[in-house]
Structure 1
Amino acid sequence: MPRPSLRENVVAAAVDQFHRRGYQGSGVKDITDAAGLPKGSFYNYFGSKEDMALEALRRYGAGREMVRLQDQATPPLARLRAHFEFLQDDVARVGVNYGCMFGNFATESTLESPALRAAVHGAFAHWIESVTGALRDAVEVGELPAGRDIDLLARSLVRAWEGALLHAKVLADRGPMDDFFTGTFEPLLGIQPSGEPR
């Protein structure tokens, strides 16, 4: 049985390589080289490159810290903003040119791999569900009016964020992410420039 620590090295390298170079641009050897292991050892841990990509997507998703959206100690809209600010900081840390792995996989690999397509769909669905939960909490505590279409609002926020990241990649500039907050996040939620809900 392979040692878990070595498998973790492969998974960490896979997340980094797939995020930076995409599915098509990352070969098995690239990943095992980055993990400091011989290429042949890859098959001790994964049956195929697709299997490894599926695990990398799961691991990347876990790193998005969706659980923070459920933190009842923080007001709902504050935790929602903190979530997107965390994502923005993470993009800045990795490099704006690399965008979001979910979005990257959606544009380059889902047509050829039904399994990857389903995984990306599931990742987006989970993300939207998590955002929806925070928005429902916002309605319950009176931060948002009860008449808002919370499901549509959650989908719109996630899709707008992904669009901002795509444009940031094209421009190699974080400006579109900043625009997301002032041009999309705040207007959609009805937040005044002061930070208070209208």
Structure 2
Amino acid sequence: MPRPSMREHLIEAAHDRFHEHGFNGIGIKDITDTAGTPKGSFYNHFDSKEAMAVEVMRRYAESRGMDMLADTSVPPVERIRGHFAYLMADLERYDYARGCMFGNFGAELSTQSPTVRDEVGSRLGRWASALASALDEARAAGALASGVDTAVLARFLVSAWEGAAMQAKVVRGSAPLDDFFTVFDSLTA
């Protein structure tokens, strides 16, 4: 089996370091040291730290269980709730210390980096769109108690989740996420 490339080592190292310390909390040397690669190798694979952050977010998005939202073999409310439960388990796995990378980068870089801000916005928009589709199915099945437009409700759920994930990071516990689920459950029939 071929060895992973230096690029892959760098992405894995950056993912962990960004998630633990934020974008501004680490430097390229920290990433290359963690990856066990020479600092100069970074620029063989990435034009900038921002370009690396965009790639890390792309990979992070793939691990967020978005496919769960489209699994029509599961009732829509159950799959939405299952999706958020999956995200909660991931936060719990790190003792709530990491939060959500999208929210972390959005809060940290929205005024510093248009490139990262646009990527965060795009990722949050795709998430809201996937949620809106599942909410449309829930409404059609008579399982959605709220009359709010599903696109608005989906954006609200993304924003509420991001806020709850940030608060869970601050209090290092699940109470804000439990509150999220309490409100979510009140929206379903």
Deviations 1:105-159 (A, max 9, x none): 1111121111111001101101100110110111222222694421121111111
Q: What is the root-mean-square deviation in Å for CA atoms of aligned residues?
A: 1.6
Residue matched to 1:92: 92
Deviations 1:56-102 (A, max 9, x none): 11111111121210001000000000000000001111331211111
Moved over 2 A (4+): 3-6, 144-148
Percent identity, please: 49
Deviations 1:9-50 (A, max 9, x none): 111111111111101002111111111211111111111111
Paired residues for 1:1-198 under 5 Å: 5-144=5-144, 147-182=147-182, 184-187=183-186, 189-190=187-188, 197=189
- Paired residues in the alignment total 187
Q: Distance in 1 between matches of 2:93 and 2:5?
A: 25
Q: TM-score when scaled to structure 1?
A: 0.89
Q: Any stretches of 5+ residues in structure 2 without a counterpart?
A: none
Q: Any stretches of 5+ residues in structure 1 without a counterpart?
A: 191-196
Q: Distance in 2 between matches of 1:146 and 1:103?
A: 26
Q: Distance in 2 between matches of 1:72 and 1:14?
A: 35
Q: Distance in 2 between matches of 1:181 and 1:147?
A: 18
Contact 2:103 2:162 in 1 (8 A): yes
Q: Distance in 1 between matches of 2:65 and 2:77?
A: 16
Q: TM-score when scaled to structure 2?
A: 0.93
Contact 2:57 2:101 in 1 (8 A): yes
User: Could you tell me which amino acid in structure 2 is paired with residue 71 of structure 1?
Assistant: D
Q: Distance in 1 between matches of 2:20 and 2:96?
A: 10
User: Could you tell me which amino acid in structure 2 is paired with residue 62 of structure 1?
Assistant: E
Partner secondary structure for residue 115 of structure 2: helix
Q: Distance in 2 between matches of 1:24 and 1:147?
A: 42
